[in-house]
Amino acid sequence: MECPISPLGDRIVILPNDEGEQMYGNIVVPDMGKEKPEMGKVLAVGPGRITPDGKLVPNQIQVGQTVLVPKFGAQTMTVENETYIMASENDVLGILNKKEDDNE
């Protein structure tokens, strides 16, 4: 899927997974509580942040990774009838890694 948003700085664009109980490999993110994190696939990544001395620090997150972001720590927007999450790399709680031996 091509992303209609080009993030700037250390921002990333995430396509959230459907609501409800979400499963990724053996990790289950249950649908309980208002402040559960959002899980989604990274569609676009900005170039990175600029340090005070003018150096570019590239983002560590890459397109295609699945990440967790706080429910209320990121901006949600709708573009062309699709909902996206835009967050700073610092807002990301973690990257979900697939196990190499999964045969699903």
> Which tokens is 36 given?
């559960």
Domain borders along the chain are 11-96
Tell me: pLDDT of 1 over 90: no
Q: What is the mean pLDDT of the chain?
A: 83
Better pLDDT: 84 or 37: 84
The pLDDT tens digits for 29-76 are 665 555 567 899 999 999 999 999 999 999 999 999 999 998 877 888
Which CATH superfamily is 11-96 part of?
Answer: GroES chaperonin (2.30.33.40)
Tell me: pLDDT of 13 over 70: yes
